A and B are shown apart, each in its own frame.
Chain A
Amino acid sequence: MATPVSAPAARQANMMAALKEAAFAALITFGLCIPIIAWGTRQNLDNVLVLDPRWDTVAWAVAIVFVGRFLMALRQQKKGEGRTIVRILPHGTFARLQGHSRLFSLVGLGFLITFPIIAITLAGWGGALKWIDNFGVQILIYVMLGWGLNIVVGLAGLLDLGYVAFYAVGAYSYALLAKNFGLSFWILLPMAGILAAFWGMLLGFPVLRLRGDYLAIVTLAFGEIIRLVLVNWVDFSGGYAGISGIPRPTFFGIPFTAADNGFAAVFGLEFSPLYRTIFLYYVILCLALLTAFVTLRLRRLPVGRAWEALREDEIACRSLGINTTNTKLTAFSLGAMFGGFAGSFFAARQGFISPESFVFMESAVILAIVVLGGMGSLWGCAIAATAMIGGTELLRELEWLKVIFGADFDPTKYRMLIFGFAMVVIMIWKPRGLISTREPTAFIKEKKAISADLVQEGHG
């Protein structure tokens, strides 16, 4: 038996331990800051290197790490015994919210459908464009991409680092076919999806024998190969210059122009660029809802169950008569198909695409959405996409911060810093993502959510 320690003494010891840990973390931060932050470098007129000391910034960084680490250490000490000191939401909030997921879905759907009207009411005709385009359409594209990748990573457990390749295939399919053959958006949308699915299958065949890290590396490579082909095959794709003047989608044949046969004139409205944006918003909303609908349906079909079983245990799947190669390929190509849909929409919306839009960073952001949201959860993906894409867009709105930090403060520059910080916070707070329970696909008596601790992440 250990000698009994009085409560104040134990608390003091805990405090000392936490302080020690925090001091250590602060020391490491200090060490890392010296080469990176401590001196700003610039050239003067004589091309001589000038070092601007920035010790105040270093002090800030060290202080933030010290306090953060101290609070975290206290929180960890309390683990399992009583309440934690630092808690953002009361215990079980998410579980309680998930109990009403049907209600939330209806409210969310209602909000999404009425969003353009709300935006116009609140921001007026002039201001609504930004909200619908930068927030509505942009976020929904990423929600859709997240849901598409969720099939591959979240359900089937195949770590795909090159998802943006299929986004690119969809975008270039639309751009090239629309420009060269004059086909309409509504014909090309399914075609782009099918082409992307075809590429998904083509890339999938050789890759799916690999598992885990190896699969991740090869999919990463495939993503880069597609991008590099687009960069270097100038005759085909225009190289770095990209493709411009891509035909914009029409309202079932009626273009959104100021001309006499344009949308506004036909319907007797005053011309405004907003109509096109609202139309695009509803198109991407329908596409995203289609993705969600198909995913929810498939989860209850044998193929969806087989995906999840594959994520749990591949060998057991094989012993039960499941063709694992085909099952993985369907996941891969279906995910790719939704990527292709999103890509063709992206091309139609932008009117201009170049390989710059399909860099690895995009894959990373989409994967981050899936991982932060909680693998396999549609709600989680939607929340994560809103936070990440909406959050970075919101940074542009924070002009008032200039009052505090000075005139040359640009909040958008801190995007990556906040992104990384969010990742770290989620990793500490919710290591399995925001929504970390799995919903069963069939039940006899009652549907109970399954804790993520029991669910496997997949090995390949």
Chain B
Amino acid sequence: MLFRFIIILTAMLCSLPVYAASGLKNVELHDLYFGEVLYYAYQDRPFEALARLDNELSQYYELDERELDSLHFHLGQAEFSVGDLELQYRMNQRAGKAIQAVLGDGLDLATRNIAALQLARLYYRKDDPESTLYALDLIRENPDKSRYEEKYSLDNLRGKPPETFKTDVAYLRALALIDTGQFSKAVDILQELREEKSLKGFVLYNLGIALIQSGREEEAMAVLDELGRLDTDDRALLALKDKTNLKLAYRYLDRGDAKKAQMYFERIRLDGPFSNRALLGAGWVAAAQGRFDRALVPWSILHKRSVTNDAVQEALMAVPYAYSKLEAYGNAANLYDHAMDVFAAEIDSLDSSIKSIRKGRFLTALLNEKADKDKNWVVNLRELPDTPETRYILELMASNDFQEMYKNYKDLAELRHHIDKWLADLRVFEEMIEIRRKYQEPLLPVVEEQFKKIDARVKLRLEQRNNLASKLKNLLIAPRPEYLATATERQALDTVMALEEIIKARPEAVDAQTLEKVRRMRGILLWRVRSEYDQRLTDAYNNLIALDRDIDKMKLRYNSFIRTRQAATQSYEGYTIPIRQLRTRLFAAQRKLKGTMAKQGRMLETMAINELDRRRKRLEEYQIKARFALAENYDRATKAQFDEELMRQRKLRGEAAEKQAQDAAKETAPENAPADTPQAPDEKSSVEEAPADRPAVKKPSSFKQKLLSP
């Protein structure tokens, strides 16, 4: 079970950098909204990223010409990212489907390989090693590609070098093989990974386990010993190193090899997470050798540490036990007395913790804002104030099951917040729609009326423009200079034509000079119109182009108005039913969420209460043992005092008899017999001097009261 937990822990640790360097990295951006998805994904906010990505994808799939949408460039990445993000958001069921869908698509080999690795990780997290191996077998290397090309394509995967990808695959395969009982195969793979720096400690640990399971205990011990001597500054590796040394020490202690056990205990850091158990074990090693004075050294250090720790509580019993073995019964009795006081106080504390949890304060503490500041939730929980709700259960909180349930509970709390926010927003939307309706409905008919008039004028002007354009086009084919005459010229031409009509009707009324004048006037006019025709035609085209620019502006405003008018109608029409439906669905989700959250909360509370109850029972057992040990030591101390007193009195009597005999011999000195009743033993003398590092204890008192108390 412990091995299993460690394997899971290492798998999770190894997958962390993968998630951090998620499949979304190194993306050349073609779509701003996809960039926004990345912005949230990189901040480890999978809900926000997923909500946006789902929205983008659903809009994309509604399009007729999808290749025109900028998301089209990222489609493969987007589809893959859905599974990746769902995995981060612990939506394993959906993530599996999404990744499998990617595997089925015609994507490039590199992306398919990464998808297969992700799928394998997902199965491993779901405690399904057979499927993990199946998914890992889907990873292919394209035989057609040259080594360079293969490296190049793998290099592009999430910015990770190909070696890391291959190492990750091999390591995960080894873990899955251990879980399926194929230890020899796992050993072979892990042996090859031994020099892998990024997985150094974890490989050695799992190799040790695989070797033990395959019956090669001595080799396993050598591997674990190598891990126990690993030179590292990494906190996770230091913890793993301490844990390995602790396991080795206890294993040798069980075998009766105290010397080796001592060596491994001494390797464990005094400020590490396993220091308490190491100090306790080191004491037991000395005790096993009968050197109780030496056992007192680590136990006395432990004795001063936080009493909520299991090992410290055991040390509270172990220290007086050692004193008892050293025949310092008084000290032992005092320390048992102290232990009983501590246990009684701790049992009270546990009772209040259980009560507090039943009142729901534990769940409130779990959702404390302080616990949300860091990604490392265990550290956060350790930083929670030492309230009755969280005391004693830090170990439980670090367990995988509790961790998963706690994350789910926090996710549910966040979802509840989202639902509440949306429900409040829907109320605001409805109010907004109503305000818009009241404002727009009376305005729209008036605007519509005015629009009709303007629309008619716009259409007329557009028709005029088209006529002009058509005439100009015809002029290019068949030049008609008179069409481009100015108004004055046209007026003058009309006058000339009228004069010519008069001359034609009454030629006798006009002299030759006048006739010549009219003819010359016509000539001038025609000369001007015809000679300037080309320039006039060019100017007309230029004016038409200028007109078109104005018409474009007008069309823009016209279309804008059309859309605004449409938007004005749409700003309050057609929302009632969707909002009602969405609200119903939100309420349904809220009900479902409340029920599940309550269940999840109860499970967390039950786990916490069970843990506290277990600790309480253990303390009660200690209390009973301490009570008996106290009585025994009290008796021994009393007996020792009595024996001492008896010896003293015998000595006194002997001396008195001797003196009497001497006196009788002298027959001159008066008789001075010693007192019959022995002097009461000095209470202080019964208590031995404590060593300099003896733990502080309360004043010795009320032994009998303790013994008589229930």
Bound together: no
Residues of chain B having any CB pair with chain A under 8 Å:
none
